[in-house]
Amino acid sequence: MRTGNAIIGTAGGPTVVINQSVLGVIQQIERSMHIVHVFGARRGVEGIVREDYFDLMRQPRNMLDLVAQTPAAALGSTRIKPDQEYCQRVLEAFRRRDVRYFFYIGGNDSANTARIISRVAREAKYEMRTIHIPKTIDNDLLVSDHTPGYGSCAKFVGSAFIGDNLDNRSLPGVKINLLMGRNAGFITAASILARFREDDGPHLVYVPERTFDLEQFVTDVGNVYRRYGRCLVAVSEGIHDGQGTLWAEKVSVLRQEHLERDAFGNLQLGVGTGSLADFLAGTLRNRFKDISRVRADTLGYLQRSYPASVSVVDAWEARLCGQMAVSYSVDAEMDGSVALLRLPGSRYAVGTKLVDLKEVAPDHPPFTKVLPDKYISPEGNNVTNNYREYVRPLIAELPRIGWFEQIADMARFSVHE
Amino acid sequence: MRTGNAIIGTAGGPTVVINQSVLGVIQQIERSMHIVHVFGARRGVEGIVREDYFDLMRQPRNMLDLVAQTPAAALGSTRIKPDQEYCQRVLEAFRRRDVRYFFYIGGNDSANTARIISRVAREAKYEMRTIHIPKTIDNDLLVSDHTPGYGSCAKFVGSAFIGDNLDNRSLPGVKINLLMGRNAGFITAASILARFREDDGPHLVYVPERTFDLEQFVTDVGNVYRRYGRCLVAVSEGIHDGQGTLWAEKVSVLRQEHLERDAFGNLQLGVGTGSLADFLAGTLRNRFKDISRVRADTLGYLQRSYPASVSVVDAWEARLCGQMAVSYSVDAEMDGSVALLRLPGSRYAVGTKLVDLKEVAPDHPPFTKVLPDKYISPEGNNVTNNYREYVRPLIAELPRIGWFEQIADMARFSVHE
């Protein structure tokens, strides 16, 4: 490949390991003969068209490893989804700076951006390599076995449910946790990492891959509560009704209608992220007057940003994807996306390959991956325990837990009887 | 002291280190000559009156250390606040089993329970020792410098804000996080652990020790946003208006009034934990049409149950309090509550002492501790950075973070210009 400069950019919702991929790229470029200089675009494509760059070769040496361990996008991120015309401006910026290598770290939308830039450059006969590096907590990218960012998110969710299941055991009641994932149930499915004993929660898991029926939900919770005297539920934000309308949307519309009737001056009833979980809890409270404790939490942004329990496997794989992106950019004869593959065998091991951008950002649906049927219970209200085999290696360490054993024989305690 | 049996119980909202205190008690009892057997009451005083016990001397040996590391109350917890008559039943249960040592782990309410039991036993001339062991994430117990459970909660909150501050830097906007703490701002104050640079969030911190004025809040957020192009806010669930009415209550009443006008059959609008944060975000959205991203999260139960980032200092101190409780029960001539004291000197060190139960559960207000004035900014909209000196030693490790430096000189990048 032609000698020139390189640009790295990051886009979409951050993860806790996205900076590992940035550092992987920097490290590998330092070993490369073809790349003169590497710059970081501030806030993805926005930084490129605005020519707002970090000089990644002049960063304090001792800072780089710290940046890699730091959550969120140190280069800043963007929600812009560039069209053909926007990508023309990106290409002009590349031309001005002799950029011959472009590494774009992101999810499905970023793969699509990379694909457009790749085409625009080819049509302009501008010699360059565009490589997409996978990143998303949603784990919904096509081709890859899993996506950097997901392992740490799954570890956070699994850990959160370990704690919450025990909390719910301490003070029994019904607890609902709402999790991220509009279209795919992978994040919600990770909640089952908290199940060790037969009666551990989550006892019910609702993913967007199945229709969410409110009546069935009430029945399910009632059944679990009668059996265990408590119930822990994992619900994806992407649950929808039989017509495909999001429940979050339905609740929001109801609230909005109320809001329009609002006559409280300054005081506005917000329609927010907590609404869906609160709605579900409210429904259960109305239906089960005998259950004294019904609580709901929406785990929120911590799922993608909590820094204190990153998966070392996820961190390592994110670094690897960055490194391999540079190797492919120099050695391979094509633009593409780095895919993570699980190697066959009894022990967990991964490899990478470079796949065509149109495999990750295709022209026709499916555009993203969803939770396979084999991991969803026939009733559609749970994720099966064999999902654990898929997700467990991505987590590295989970908190270990212990619990007292109930010992029936209390004879020695009857001192005076 | 008289030889006899011992009972341990736990009450109130669990923490991630409550089981450390249980194990501290068990360990120290094993070294004691006066205590024959130790039993765990399932769900605090409820287990005592129901005679539902764990035999804590017959637990699998290798399980005990695991239990200590496990969040939530392994003995189960209770929300019951016993009166004199209930405590009489507790005493009868003690009598039947020759219980001469009672260790009750909990917050202010549990100290009060211990005080009633202590009095009831004394009046009945039943020779026994009742020792309260402190535990609460709220950090609001009188006398103690801080309370076991708070350090890990503060570490969770600080870590969460480190991640969220960087996330907000990656994709700028306004972000509100709602934190636990009805009467005391200690949990909310811990958010400032995320501030390293001048422009790090939380930029605004609202605690229950000050009146929350909605107009002032809107003005504050606007000022920060104009300055930094983003704003991260920590808000305590206990904020109230000038009349002392909780904002959570006000929002709930408004929602409830809407709810009564509801004509949607099965669909009920829940009034839940997410409402206050959503309301604040909604208010800002309505007032700042130019701010595209306004988000809110309610951190919820994870503050007391997240198992994967426990403070080792907090865990050690919780264990210490359990051990010292047993020592005091045998050596001291009084019932009491174990208090944690910070020893003078430049390095952090703690000691314990046994204080009279009425010092921790007094007859007259103040019943609990609140955030001292010196840690709250004069405007009442922030916690000062010197709070960091108080809270930092309780955390042990915080995630270390790194960030790229902006390097202005881009000369080397101008290859073709």
| pLDDT for res A260 | 44
pLDDT (tens digit per residue) in A25-76: 999 999 988 999 999 999 999 999 999 999 998 888 788 999 999 999 999 9
List the structure tokens of A117.
Answer: 């830039």
Taking contacts as CB-CB distances below 8 angstroms, the residues of chain A near B97 are 413-416
- Hey, of B152, B250, B305, which one would you mutate to test binding to chain A, going by the most A CBs within 10 A of its CB? B305
Peptide bond into B202 cis (omega under 30): yes
Given A5, A78, A255, which is nearest B269 (Cβ)? A255
Given A59, A283, A302, which is nearest B404 (Cβ)? A59
Q: Do B269 and A283 touch (CB under 8 A)?
A: no
| SS3 state at B191 | helix
| SS3 state at B210 | coil
**Rounded Cα–Cα distance for residues A77 and A79 (Å):** 7
Give the model's confidence band at A257: pLDDT under 50 very low, under 70 low, under 90 confident, else very high.
low
Q: Give every strand in the sheet of B231-236, ordered side by side.
A: B204-206, B231-236, B174-179, B294-298
Give catalytic status of residue B138 as yes or no.
Answer: yes
Given B53, B68, B301, which is nearest A167 (Cβ)? B301
* Residue given tokens 């806030």 in the structure block: A43
Q: Give the gap in angstroms from C-alpha B344 to the nearest C-alpha of chain A.
A: 31
Give yes or no for residue A321 having a pLDDT over 70.
yes
Those residues of chain B that have pLDDT short of 50 are: 259-271, 411-412, 415-417
Pick from A254, A273, A292, A252: which is nearest to B275 by CA?
A273
- From A260-269, A272-281, A399-408, B225-234, the region with the lowest mean pLDDT: A260-269
DSSP H stretches of helix in A125-246: 150-170, 186-189, 214-228
DSSP per-residue codes, A66-134: HHHTS-S-TT--------HHHHHHHHHHHHHTTEEEEEEEESHHHHHHHHHHHHHHHHTT---EEEEEE
Give the model's confidence band at A417: pLDDT under 50 very low, under 70 low, under 90 confident, else very high.
very low
pLDDT (tens digit per residue) in A331-352: 999 999 999 999 999 899 999 9
Q: Do B163 and A406 touch (CB under 8 A)?
A: no
DSSP per-residue codes, B2-64: --EEEEEEE-SS--SSHHHHHHHHHHHHHT-SSEEEEEEETTTHHHHHHT-EEETTSS-HHHH
- Hey, of B97, B260, B413, which one would you mutate to test binding to chain A, going by the most A CBs within 10 A of its CB? B413
Residues of A assigned a catalytic role: 138
Cα dist. A412→A17, B27, B339 in Å?
54, 19, 33
Q: Give the gap in angstroms from C-alpha B364 to the nearest C-alpha of chain A.
A: 30
| pLDDT for res B275 | 87
| pLDDT for res A347 | 94
* Residue given tokens 């208090």 in the structure block: B339
CA torsion angle A80 A85 A86 A88 (round to 10) = 150
Q: Do B272 and A255 touch (CB under 8 A)?
A: no
Using CA coordinates, name the residue in chain A closest to B309: A308
Give the model's confidence band at A273: pLDDT under 50 very low, under 70 low, under 90 confident, else very high.
confident
| pLDDT for res B261 | 43
Using CA coordinates, name the residue in chain B closest to A401: B70
Taking contacts as CB-CB distances below 8 angstroms, the residues of chain B near A163 are 16, 71-72, 301-302, 305-307
Give yes or no for residue A268 having a pLDDT over 60.
no
| pLDDT for res A416 | 41
Give yes or no for residue A126 having a pLDDT over 70.
yes
**Rounded Cα–Cα distance for residues B144 and A2 (Å):** 68
| pLDDT for res B406 | 67
**Rounded Cα–Cα distance for residues B163 and A303 (Å):** 10
The DSSP output letter for B69 is: T
| pLDDT for res A413 | 56
Q: Are A363 and A202 in contact (CB under 8 A)?
A: no
**ipTM for the whole complex:** 0.94
Query: For the residues A203-222, what does the mean pLDDT come to?
Result: 98
Q: Are B241 and B212 in contact (CB under 8 A)?
A: yes
Q: Do A400 and B280 touch (CB under 8 A)?
A: no
Q: Are B30 and B327 in contact (CB under 8 A)?
A: no
| SS3 state at B169 | helix
State chain A's mean pLDDT as an integer: 92
* Residue given tokens 């995630």 in the structure block: B399
pLDDT (tens digit per residue) in A165-182: 999 999 999 999 999 999
Taking contacts as CB-CB distances below 8 angstroms, the residues of chain A near B308 are 155-156, 159, 308-309, 398-399
Give yes or no for residue A102 having a pLDDT over 70.
yes
pLDDT (tens digit per residue) in B333-360: 999 999 999 999 989 999 999 999 999 9
Given A97, A169, A277, which is nearest B272 (Cβ)? A277
Give the model's confidence band at A392: pLDDT under 50 very low, under 70 low, under 90 confident, else very high.
very high
Percent of chain A with pLDDT over 90: 84
DSSP H stretches of helix in B209-246: 214-228
Task: Report the DSSP pairing between strands B174-179 and B129-134.
Answer: unpaired
Give the model's confidence band at A302: pLDDT under 50 very low, under 70 low, under 90 confident, else very high.
very high
Cα dist. A17→A65, A80, A281, A307 in Å?
12, 21, 33, 9
